[in-house]
Amino acid sequence: MTFPATKESLVFFTNSANGLKIVDEVLRLFVGPGQYQVMQWLAEEK
């Protein structure tokens, strides 16, 4: 994820599918509460 206005970005790597379980918490810590379309997109891919 990138935020050009604030010159911030987030890259998130995991070593297994289990790492996706913490993505929502990582995003909340980084950008605050909300719904993130990236997780919706990943859910649709399954």
Residue 6 pLDDT: 86
Burial 26-45 (b: 16+ CB within 10 A, else e): ebeeeeeeeeeeeeeeeeee
Residue 45 pLDDT: 59
**Segments forming the whole domain that contains residue 24:** 2-45
Q: Is 0.85 topped by the overall pTM?
A: no
Number of domains composing the chain: 1
pLDDT digits over 1-46, tens only?
888 888 988 888 888 777 777 887 888 888 888 777 666 666 665 5
